[in-house]
Every structure is written in structure tokens, then in C-alpha cells.
Amino acid sequence: MISLNAFSQTVQEETHEEESLQELAEYLSAQESGLSNTDILEDLEYYRLHPLNLNTAGATDLQKLHLLNELQIAFLLKQRELYGQFRMPQELNLIEGFDSLLVKRLLLFTQLGPLKQYPLFSFKTLDFAQHEVIVKSGMVFPRRKGFMNLAKGRAYPGPQQDGYIRWVVRSDDRFSAGITAQNDAGEPFFSSPNQKGFDFYSFHLWAKPDKLIESFCIGDYKISTGLGLCLGSGFALQKSSQSVNIPFGANGLRPYHSSDENQFYRGAAVVLHWSDLHLSLFSSFKDIDGTLHSDKGTNQPYLSALPTDGLHRTAGELKSRHTTDEMVSGLLLSYQRNNLSFGLNFISLNLQYPLLPDTLGYNRYYFRGKRNYNLSGEVHWIYRKMVLAGEVALSKSGGIGAIQQISYFPSQQISFAMILRHYDRDFNSIRGNSFAASSHNRNETGLYTGAEILPFPKIKFNLWLDEFKFPGISYRTSSSTNGYETFFSAEYTGIKNLLLNFRTEQNKKELEMKDDQNKKLLVPVRTTRYRLTGDLSMGSGISLKSRIESCFYKALSHETGWLFLQDLNWAPSSSKFNVWYRTGWFNTPSYNSRIYASEHDLLYSFSIPAFYGKGMRFASTVRYRLSKKTDLRIKLSRTQRLDNLHPGSGYDEINANHIDELKIQIRLKL
């Protein structure tokens, strides 16, 4: 459910926009665990504060809005080419494939400015540069077990608070520079073994000259191409509430200023273009975490795993910190003429020490050694009201990955999409992030079909079916398995100030489990969810949102869980205060029947906690405008357990029946 106002100017309306970003990111996301939501939220928040100029934006820029499919982007660019620059927002309604709700969402993040642009490195451009500084911290209490003084000392030597500082300067979506520093709770801070202060630092200098050099970046960056099979950092092809609005995946070279310690490249990258030919070159060299061992026979070092959680608190985690070097380099060549494009991509990986994971079970076909490479070819064609895109990739092992996407938009009322993919068991993609039912583009064959139907002006249906098979051994199985996922949603916007949404999902897969006699069985596991959401705007800056959801889990046992949430948003135009508050009740027998729910958080943050067991959830976020350019955000939340279970496990366990969290953030705009 999304409440958007295209022309918000007041404090009250701006707060509603910020609330909408959280919900829109969830709406566009893949699985409810929200692993890709941070990237979406970063883009949406940036374009909310720095609207994209629809009179100068190219296809790559429009993809970053995450709102338009390939055909809608093509229709917009064609309309601009035929009739010149847009002058009034109403003109967007005349573009084929656009409806009133899409235009409202689009205008939240775009503008119709003049075509004139100053040279990139001029004083005029610098005059338009905007600086943003964000400082935030948070802590959980009561104390986790890792912060207790045990016989051998504390397991977590660092402070209980986490820390984050970010400075970014941008100008006209053509220049960006910034520094990010981040420290997780429990990690050493200006103390042994980390005397450098924060655990993680990131920096970048990115520019878009728009001549021979289309863009370049020094420092930390992301880069992707094709359908993400060979190279797909950031937002990828994925299942979502929009059954046919599936992006092509390639969003080019972009600066990196997040706090994830793994999903980026560090070095230099450049994109060159001559007429219809584009060439991207990049090289990355950085220290990464690795579980390092020595071979008993040869005494040669090797890696058994490459941890990616970015946590460096305990002695074991600190021992794995930055133990090996990783070098990734690539060449991406593409040719585009009108609505047809071809591309060739080559990516190589070199590790300082060989990676030798266990060969038992599903690890058997994982990448092993010090060097790997991927070679892929891609094609993308827009023909009338149809989009065809595909990519085929090869890894050093000889494994092949292939994906084909077809989208068809016969009319304003109905559209279709289909994705066919096959990934060999020994296909090892270095940085792939393409469409899949599992977390890796490996050992999978599947077919996705989706449709969007608008039977009436105020009603929209989205539905899709994804059928897949894992030919080889996969996680928690010892044989070939198969499964499916289904989705259906109905959205109604016919009543003024009231939005209604109903959705249901079902997931079926096969896993090995032990019965009462401790015998292993291959069991079909089905999880079915139903959700009803209502969003009501009451005027005077008050809006209410209610949600009820149930989860039915069936395997060797049956479980039924439910969740109820009530949200209140208070944003009076006459006050510097804006308040968001949530009360929730949940009751699920175990983690198997858990229910996820998006939650309002600090700026550039996304929170989707998993509710399981029995308890209540209270959360509130307050924003206070200290001045025109400075605002303060505070979030306080509590999860109260009613089943006497202690939150967390291991060193993260809390010896109480509740867990509280406090977050504070200050943002300064110059």
C-alpha cells in the first residue's frame, strides 16, 4: 500500500513522502527478508531529495528509479524524441503504458527542468553541489551475553553502541564524492586489535562527463551488466509485487556509499563510448575476510570459507578479518543501435590463497582454487510492444548459465512476463546476481510466468508462478528436488483517502528431515501466507495503516501463525515534530511459521524484522527539525516476549524476556 503526493512542499507532505519510500521499497523488493531493499531505498531517497530531470535522463538513469519497465522507458524516450522536452506533468499521462498512479509515483522522484547543463567541472556546477552529513548510532539493551564480563573476559571487546558517519557531496547527478565510516556493536573502536578507529571505511569519487568518457569512478563503486548473470551488483532481477515490471538488470557504473563490507569493488572503473559502442573497464583490489588454514602435509595456507557478514567482534571473527587479497577485473563491451543491443563481458578473479571448501554434499561443485573467470554474451531487443533479453555465461569450470526474459504489453489493461533460466551445478559466477529461486545462480532450472491485469480503473491484479528444479544436491537435501512459488495480489484505490490491498503467497520445496525414529525423509514443505492491508488518511496530518497476516506451515508437523499491526503517522504541518508509531501482536509456533513486516526506520535504513514465537512489538520513530538544514531522528523499539523465550542465541542472547533498541541520527544539509 502506497500513499504518494506528487507535489509535496510542506513539512507534513514531506513526511508522508518519507513514509512512502519505506513502503515503496518493500513493494518493489524481492523476498520479504529485504536483502535488496537498501539499494532501492538509497536510490529512491536520493531522487526524492534530488529529482531526476526527465528532459535529460537516459535509459540507465531511468532504470535507477525502479518504477519503469524496459518498454515504458523506451516509450518515454520516444515521446521526448518526437515532441521535444516535457513542459507539464500532465504530458506524462499521454505516454503509452503510463497510468495515473504510475505518474504520481514517478513525479515524486523526478522534475521537468530545462535542458541547459553547465560543464561538469565549472564553478556553476559547484554552486549547485549539495553536501549531506549523517551521523548515527544505536544500541540494544539489556546487554547481550557477549558484553558480559566472563571468566576469560568479554567476548565482544568493543562498545555496545554501533557507529556510522557519512559525508556525500553531489551535483546535478553528474558528480559525487563521499566518505563512509562504520563500526558494528562489539567491534574494537580505537583499541587493540583495531587502532584505526572504525572497523570499515569507504570512499569514492564519481563523475559523468558525458563525452568520450561517459563516467568514471575512483575508490568504491558498483558495476553491473546484462541480466546480472555474469556481473550483477546491487538491484537485480527478482520476484516482487510487480509481476511484469522486471528490470533488465544493467544499471552501469555507480558510486558506492553504503556500509555493507562486501558488495562493492575498490579501485578504478571507466565507461567509454564512441557513437553506438560502449566499453567499460574496471579493476578492484581489496582485503577480504577468509577462514585461513595450513595444509598438514605441505604447510601451505588455504581458505576454507569466505565470511560475508562483516562482523569482527569475537576472537574467531577478528582472526578471519582481512586475511586474503581479492583482485577482480573486467571488460564489458556493448553495441546499441535503436532498440537492439549486443554485449560481451569478461570478468576475472584472483585470490591470494586458494579457496578449498569441503567437498561433501552440496559443496562438491563450488568454486575451488585461486583463479576463476566468467565470459558472457548478452542481447536486448525491444520490438513494438515486446521486450526480449537474454544472457549466456561460462565459468572456468566449464559450467554454463543461461537466462531468457520475455515481456509483452498488448494493452494498457494487461501485460505478461516470462523468464526461463538454467544454471549448471558447476557454474560458478564470480559476481552474478541474477533471477533465481535460491541464493546462488547455480544448480537450478526454472520457469517464471507473470501477469498484470487491470479489469477496472481502480482495481489491479498481479499474479505469478515460478516453477523450479534443483538437479543436483542442494542445501539440506541429498538428491534432486523441485518446488514452486505462487503470488497473487489485488489492489483497490476507488475510495478517497483509503487504499486496500490483499495478497497471498505459497512456497513449496523439498527438504530432508528426521522423523520420530530419527530416520531421514525427503519431505515436501509448504508455506502459505495471506495478508490484508488498509491505509486511511484522516486529514490534519493523521494517517492510519492496519495489517493482518497469517502463515500456514506444513511439513512433518503443521503450524499456524498470525500477525496484527496497527500504525499511526502524525505529521501536522504546523509542528516541527513528526511521529510514526506501531503496535503489533504476533503468535507463531516457531521460526518455521515466521512472518516478516517492513518497519519505518532512520533515513537510508531499512528494517524488516522476523516475528516468531509469541509476543508484542512496539516501535516509534520521531523526527524533529532543529533548523531548515538540520534534523534529528530517534527510533525506540521493544519486542516483548510472552512465551518466556530469551531473544538471540550464543553471544547475542539476552537474559530477559524482552529486547529494546535505541537509534539516533542527525542529518545536516549544506
How far apart are alpha carbons 86 and 74 in whole angstroms?
15
Confidence band of 27 (pLDDT split at 50, 70, 90) = low
- DSSP-assigned states of every residue in 620-646: EEEEEEEETTEEEEEEEEEEEESS-PP
Confidence band of 2 (pLDDT split at 50, 70, 90) = very low
Structural element, H or E, at residue 42: helix 37-49
Mean pLDDT over 483-501 rounds to 89
Mean pLDDT over 157-181 rounds to 90
Tens digit of pLDDT for each residue in 599-638? Answer: 888 887 878 888 999 999 999 999 999 988 899 999 999 9
Lowest mean pLDDT among 67-71, 242-246, 652-656: 242-246
For residue 328, the cross-strand partners are 284, 349
Sign of CA dihedral 464, 109, 136, 634: negative
Q: Is the pLDDT of residue 10 over 50?
A: no
How far apart are alpha carbons 216 and 207 in whole angstroms?
6
- DSSP-assigned states of every residue in 317-338: HHHTTT-EEEEEEEEEEEEEET
* Dihedral pair phi/psi, residue 429, rounded to 5°: -85, 130
Confidence band of 85 (pLDDT split at 50, 70, 90) = confident
Q: Is the pLDDT of residue 56 over 60?
A: yes
Mean pLDDT over 138-156 rounds to 85
Q: Is the pLDDT of residue 270 over 60?
A: yes
Tens digit of pLDDT for each residue in 567-601? Answer: 998 887 777 888 999 999 999 999 999 998 888 88
Q: Is the pLDDT of residue 223 over 60?
A: yes
Mean pLDDT over 394-422 rounds to 92
Q: Is the pLDDT of residue 7 over 50?
A: no
Confidence band of 5 (pLDDT split at 50, 70, 90) = very low
What is the rounded average pLDDT for all residues in the chain? 85
How far apart are alpha carbons 371 and 355 in whole angstroms?
9
Confidence band of 4 (pLDDT split at 50, 70, 90) = very low
- Of 140, 182, 153, which Cα lies nearest the Cα of 314? 153
Q: Is the pLDDT of residue 54 over 60?
A: yes
Q: Is the pLDDT of residue 495 over 70?
A: yes
User: Which pLDDT does position 98 carry in this prediction?
Assistant: 83
β-pairing, 200-207 vs 175-183, is: antiparallel
Mean pLDDT over 173-192 rounds to 90
Q: Which residue has the higher pLDDT, 597 or 12?
A: 597
Percentage of the chain modeled with pLDDT above 70: 89
Which range has the top average pLDDT, 81-85, 152-156, 168-172?
81-85
User: Which pLDDT does position 548 carry in this prediction?
Assistant: 97
Per the listing, cell 487491470 goes with 454
Per the listing, cell 577482480 goes with 328
Q: Is the pLDDT of residue 501 over 80?
A: yes
Confidence band of 16 (pLDDT split at 50, 70, 90) = very low
Per the listing, cell 563512509 goes with 180
* Dihedral pair phi/psi, residue 571, rounded to 5°: -140, 70
- Of 471, 488, 457, which Cα lies nearest the Cα of 243? 488
Q: Are 505 and 529 in contact (CB under 8 A)?
A: yes
Mean pLDDT over 248-263 rounds to 79
Percentage of the chain modeled with pLDDT above 90: 45
- Residue 121 has what DSSP assignment? T
Q: Is the pLDDT of residue 25 over 70?
A: no
Total Cβ atoms within 10 A of residue 554: 17
Q: b vs e for 626-661, b when ≥16 Cβ sit within 10 Å of the residue's Cβ?
A: eeeeebebebebebebeeeeebeeebbebeeebbbb
Confidence band of 18 (pLDDT split at 50, 70, 90) = low
Q: Is the pLDDT of residue 3 over 70?
A: no
β-pairing, 542-554 vs 595-596, is: unpaired
How far apart are alpha carbons 65 and 59 in whole angstroms?
10
Q: What is the pTM of this model?
A: 0.88
Q: Are 188 and 158 in contact (CB under 8 A)?
A: yes
Confidence band of 247 (pLDDT split at 50, 70, 90) = low
User: Which pLDDT does position 28 carry in this prediction?
Assistant: 59
Total Cβ atoms within 10 A of residue 410: 11
Instruction: Calculate the alpha carbon distances from 186 to 146, 148, 154, 190, 317 in Å.
Output: 8, 11, 10, 12, 11
CA–centroid distance for 5 within its chain: 24
What's the start-to-end Cα distance of the chain, in Å? 33
- Of 581, 536, 528, which Cα lies nearest the Cα of 559? 528
Q: b vs e for 182-201, b when ≥16 Cβ sit within 10 Å of the residue's Cβ?
A: bbbbbbbbeeeebeeebbbe
User: Which pLDDT does position 31 carry in this prediction?
Assistant: 45
User: Which pLDDT does position 60 carry in this prediction?
Assistant: 77
Q: Is the pLDDT of residue 418 over 60?
A: yes
Residues in the chain: 670
